[in-house]
Structure 1
Amino acid sequence: MKLIDKLAWLRVEDGRILCARSYGNDVFYVPGGKREMGETDHQALSREIKEELCVDLVDGTIEFAKIFEAPAHRHAEGTIVRITCYRADYLGTIEAGSEIEEFAWLDYSVRDELTLGGQMIFDWLRANGEL
């Protein structure tokens, strides 16, 4: 089994969650990415969100939410993605960064347009009454 370790930012507003779709990708995902050598979760998540969505996460507001594991999208069978999710406030105006083709505020009705990990996140948020 191969494990891909990722971080994700859960930003829910008015019953919809912020999602992104990168160039060449066919599904939306919850924004975030992988750590670089020596980065903490908070540092890596802040960097990834700045790169993807052009906003700054507010340091004192970053808090752990939940970890999800699912088969990795567009990877060999047996590859698992572990998504460690955080919530945080942000400063700035959300815009698509260099690697993002589009971002959208999605509600539960479009759950099937996400990766399997994203679908698990949507299900958890719905069970909590957030989506």
Structure 2
Amino acid sequence: MELATLKAFQAVAESGSFSKAGEILFLTQPAVSKRIASLEDGLDLKLFDRIGKHISLTEAGRTLLPEAQKILSQVDESKRLLANLSNRVGGSLHIATSHHIGLHRLPAILQNFTHHHPDVDLELSFMDSEKALRLIEIGKLELA
């Protein structure tokens, strides 16, 4: 089991949609589907019932979800604790911006930031402000 597949599983389970999970993870819907298929194959269990566009967790999915949430939370907490030991800033920072700002104003700023904070996993996404606000509200972005 890889962390990326657990993140995809959690996103699909919590959003109720492969497409919405893709938006949250900044992946295409087929990429999310592939990760879920890989997880199901590896476990030899079906995690979701798919009826048309509606999906729901199977018993195996309902059993796995709280465990996946714990694992992902523990990984994030471990990264934070280890970063604190070294007095270095670390972890992940998810930010969104418009194309214009991202292409013309941010490159020098982000280059400086990544130079001074190499342990920060920076994820930059381009999107409109309404979508960015929704993702901030649900905790998927830290800055927009």
Do these two structures clear the TM 0.5 threshold for a shared fold by scoring above it?
Answer: no
The answer to which structure has the higher helix fraction is 2
Instruction: Calculate the TM-score normalised by the size of structure 1.
Output: 0.26
The answer to which structure has the higher strand fraction is 1
* Larger-Rg structure: 2
Using CA pairs under 8 Å that are at least 6 residues apart, name the structure with larger relative contact order, 1 or 2: 1
Instruction: Calculate the TM-score normalised by the size of structure 2.
Output: 0.25
